[in-house]
Amino acid sequence: MDFDWLNPPFDVKTPFVPGEIEEAFEDPFCLRLAPDAPPFAARARYICLGRTAAGRGLFALYRTNGNQVRVLAVRPFSSEEEHFYDRAKQQSL
């Protein structure tokens, strides 16, 4: 997976650096969701819930053209997202 890091729309130093974001996308239990909310669906935005190699939970909003991923926003998991990720991981094991 190729990432577009040219002029990202967020500060790449906090809370996650680009390498950690890429790790979360490579997480074997990563959840990639296509939301059905009109603002997201109209613009083909997707959500990634994954963990870094250090175990930090990451929520990323991104878009893709099939070849490159452009991360638009990133933040740590909320408590609900943490629960959702852990439950989905347990179901897949």
DSSP readout, 22-48?
HHHHH-TT-EEE---SHHHHHTT-EEE
Q: pTM for the full model?
A: 0.87
- How many percent of the chain have pLDDT more than 70? 96
Domain that holds residue 56: 2-92
**What mean pLDDT, rounded, does the chain reach?**
91
Overall number of domains in the chain: 1
Give the tens place of pLDDT for each residue, 47-66: 999 999 999 999 999 999 88
Distances 6 to 22, 90, 91 between C-alpha atoms, Å:
15, 36, 37
Q: What's the token pair of residue 49?
A: 């819930």
Give the tens place of pLDDT for each residue, 26-52: 999 999 998 777 766 677 889 999 999
Q: What is the dihedral of CA 85, 35, 18, 56, to 10 degrees?
A: -20
Whether residue 91 is predicted with pLDDT greater than 80 in this model: the reply is: yes
Whether residue 76 is predicted with pLDDT greater than 70 in this model: the reply is: yes
Measure the CA–CA gap between 68 and 63, rounded to whole angstroms.
8
According to the model, what pLDDT value does residue 65 have? 87
Measure the CA–CA gap between 66 and 10, rounded to whole angstroms.
22
